[in-house]
Amino acid sequence: MRGVRRRALVLTLAAVSLAGAPQVVAAQAESADEVGLLRQASVREAAGDLRGAESSLREILKKRPSSVPALLALERVLRVEGRLEDLVPAAVAALAADERSALLNQLLVRTYSALDRVRELDLAARRWIAMVPEIEIPYREVAQVWMARADYARARSVLEEGRRRIGREDALALELGDLYATLGEPQRAVREWERAVGPEARGLSQVRRRLRALPDGGAGVLPSLIDLLTAEPASMARLQAAVDLAVDAGLGERAETVARRVLPGLDPAERESFLVEVARRADGARLNRLAYWAYGEMVAAEAEEGRRLAIRNRLAELALELGDTASAAANYRAVESAYAQGTPQRRQAAALRIELVARQDVDAAAEALHEFRQEYLDAPELDRLAAAVATALVAGDRSPEAEALLAGVRGPRSGLLRGRIALARGSGSDARTAFMAAAPALRGSEATATLALITLLGRVSDEAGRRIGVALERQIAGEAGAAVDGLLGDLGELPPEDRPALLEMAAGIADSGGLADDAREVRRRLVADYPRSSEAPAALLALARALRVESGGEVEARELLERLIIEYPRSALVPQARRELQQLPRVSAEARTEGGSG
């Protein structure tokens, strides 16, 4: 009996599979047709045949009215022809097929605004909001359209309605802060940005970007924001955020006061990490007294002798900069007398001393390095030491002397510096040779980054290589924003084939520097301006991944992944895009259900 049932079940499943097979084949054929027509439209548009491009795109929309790639391309073509009003019927038809699509709703609202059809704009905006009243995206996008039209009253009304209907005090706080800042109401903006930071400071990076965009870099409002973040009851995360912002504002004394409140609430591991970050950022901002306090706390708690030695070196240096010669002398004495003559530990201490001297007096450091090389012929620290002294020479515009000093030194640190020197003088081939020599001794992310740089330099001109070299120096100095700006500035002066690679590098630097918004903006520019470049698929995938973790970003993430799969079917990233796409429908369905419940 069981065997009969099992055979019946197998036959039933087989019948279902065979019945569905034609639908799968038809869907695949339709997708292939769409890809072909998109490519045809792209070729025609590039050749100046705008009517032909429009014809190809409208053929796609007849079969699939909600095709986002086709609609965006049609928008571009019609805008060039001055016939943007002809986009409206296509956008309306697309929304009829997929009324919840954020991109399609945004397209229609944007089109009505560009056509100055305010009544239709208002109606389209209201329909979109009514469809998903508990999601922030429609309120945010509609408010931005009204702000772009300088209709700040309507923008404010939309945002306040969104906060009320979403039912969270911090809903749309970033956008309301932007609005109040635009209206010249800084204290109201600060109150909203304080809400946007949140109880666990998850919104700090976005608020920081808003502050930096203000004409005074946020100097006028930062003290008030710090006061709000430190008001009791304040979480550890908000106190640490206040320390970060105080350092940004150059308020070293305020940062130290708040940091002292933070320390007792941290466990040993968190305490170490916090102090390291405060010391690093204080060093970068030249807040020497704050850095001296942080390093002093670190050396008091540090159990490992080698690390304590390094911290004492920095304490000595800071003491000198602060004019505290007694403290500097005490720290130097502790370092020099820590180990016996001829021991490896003393050799390491001497190496650290030379590195320290290189930051103060490069000529004295070069002389000390010469003596060190005579005493310790094959010291393992030699590569690091030579690179440190040569780096100081490069910083003083003495690159030829730096190259001479590196002669005969072998190792990854000196090799990387040789490559950077070669890039700075515009010799991409010499830089690649130096980087390739250094790469085998590197590990982890540094090795990966160096191999990627070697590949990049093999594809771009020497002028692009020189610009890459400048960006690397800025990134090493902790100036990620300046590095990104340097790569993107006057990009049109470079050969067209160089530009996508520099955009990709700029996005990577923005990512590593915590500039998430900049990274997204650069990648959007890459896929918009250079859709046929080899870098475009990776940019689409990175954009989709970034949007997945944002509230309400799943819909656009899906559309970007679909675009990658359809427009770049031979890309090695397509399998990854498919896996990402498979993880989205369940999350997106929940978001839609939640949005429709209101």
Q: How far is CA 354 from CA 108, 267, 366, 372, 412, in A?
A: 65, 35, 8, 9, 19
Q: Do you find a cis peptide bond into 380, omega within 30 degrees of 0?
A: no
- What's the rounded Cα separation, in Å, for the pair 389 and 185? 50
Residue type, 489: G
- What's the rounded Cα separation, in Å, for the pair 193 and 131? 28
- What's the rounded Cα separation, in Å, for the pair 161 and 26? 45
In the 8-state DSSP scheme, what is residue 185? -
Which pLDDT value is given to residue 243? 95
Which pLDDT value is given to residue 215? 86
Q: What is the dihedral of CA 278, 281, 283, 285, to 10 degrees?
A: -130
Which pLDDT value is given to residue 66? 86
Run of H or E residues at 562: helix 554-567
Token readout for 449 is 């980054």
Residue type, 100: R
CB 220 within 8 A of CB 260: no
- What's the rounded Cα separation, in Å, for the pair 229 and 241? 8
Which pLDDT value is given to residue 465? 85
Q: Which residues contact 389 (CB under 8 A, 6 or more apart)?
A: 354, 355, 358, 362, 365, 366, 369, 405
Give alpha helix (H) positions in 98-198: 102-114, 118-131, 136-148, 152-166, 173-182, 186-197
Which pLDDT value is given to residue 591? 46
**Three-class SS string for 425-491?**
CCCHHHHHHHHHHHHHHCCHHHHHHHHHHHHHHCCCCHHHHHHHHHHHHHHHCCCHHHHHHHHHCCH
- What's the rounded Cα separation, in Å, for the pair 290 and 559? 48
- What's the rounded Cα separation, in Å, for the pair 119 and 560? 31
- What's the rounded Cα separation, in Å, for the pair 137 and 102? 8
- For the chain, 598 residues long, give each residue's pLDDT as a single digit of tens: 555 455 544 444 444 444 454 444 444 445 668 888 889 988 998 888 999 988 999 988 888 888 888 889 999 999 999 999 999 999 999 988 888 888 899 999 999 999 999 999 999 999 999 999 999 999 999 999 999 999 999 999 999 999 999 999 889 999 999 999 999 999 999 999 999 999 899 999 889 988 988 888 888 899 999 999 999 888 999 999 999 999 989 999 999 999 999 999 998 889 989 999 999 999 988 999 999 999 989 887 765 666 777 788 788 888 878 877 557 656 766 776 677 777 777 787 778 778 777 877 888 889 988 888 888 878 888 999 999 999 889 888 888 899 899 988 888 999 989 988 888 887 888 888 888 988 888 888 888 888 888 888 888 888 888 888 888 878 877 888 888 888 888 888 888 888 898 999 899 888 888 888 889 898 988 988 888 888 899 999 999 988 887 777 788 888 888 889 998 888 898 899 898 888 875 544 444 444 333 3
